[in-house]
Amino acid sequence: MSQMRGIILEGYSNSGKTSILKELKKLHSHDYNSERSVIVLSEHYSQVLHRVNGELKSLNQVEHLNLLNDRVKMLKQLSVWAKEVGDTHRSKGIFFILERFHLNHRTAFSDSSLYKIKQIEVELFRLGAKCALLTISTEEAENRLKSRKPEHWKSKTEKETQIEVDHLIHTQHILRQHADNSIIPTLELNTDQQDWKRYAKIIYPGN
């Protein structure tokens, strides 16, 4: 039995990653046979765009690859330790959840670093990673975007709003393409109903 397994949550902003992450943590905590050690890294520790001292900063390709490699290296070191300990019971293993990781990189940098991100994906696959790609339907996209920070949208023109909706739909299409080309098993899950508990149960590997 593997000493490590995990879930990677991918998807556009407002697709429900953070809400499902919270529900996954609850499921795991109530699973009697679950691992005692849990690693949860939100998108703030892995995505291309993040805040530094309150200001948004976009990592370049090399910086982001180094960041992802550092995170995977940490998981590999813990996996080696778990194997050295020698107990194969799942409760002695490690469960991890990552938010915005390999597909986020593929989408941001296209094919320019494909070989290197594939190497990272192979390592994640060996660590028992599975991916959930959260998506929103075209019909629901505008409502979902406006559900967060409604004041922000009051000043938007119809054309500006449509541009952002189109960007969401286009980005999801690219994410799907990259998911199809990744070694990591990926489940696409439509989150229009915002039923976070049900989605978490579908994703959780203990079920």
Compute and round to an integer the Cα radius of gyration of the chain: 18
- The whole-number mean pLDDT for each consecutive block of 10 residues of the chain, a chain of 207 residues, reads 84 94 94 89 86 76 94 92 66 87 92 87 96 97 86 86 94 96 97 97 83
Collect all residues with Cβ–Cβ distance below 8 Å to 18 and sequence separation of at least 6: 42, 43, 99
Burial class (CB in 10 A: 0-12, 13-18, 19+), 60: exposed
Which secondary structure element, helix H or strand E, spans residue 21, and what is its range? helix 17-29
- Is the entire prediction scored with pTM above 0.75? yes
Q: Say which CATH number the domain at 31 has.
A: 3.40.50.300
Q: Give the pLDDT confidence score for residue 185 in this predicted structure.
A: 97
Query: What is the total count of domains within the chain?
Result: 1
Bridge partner residues of 50 (DSSP) = 57
Instruction: Report the C-alpha gap between 178 and 184 in whole angstroms.
Output: 10
Q: Give the pLDDT confidence score for residue 86 in this predicted structure.
A: 62
Q: Give the pLDDT confidence score for residue 1 in this predicted structure.
A: 42
Residue 101 domain boundaries = 4-203
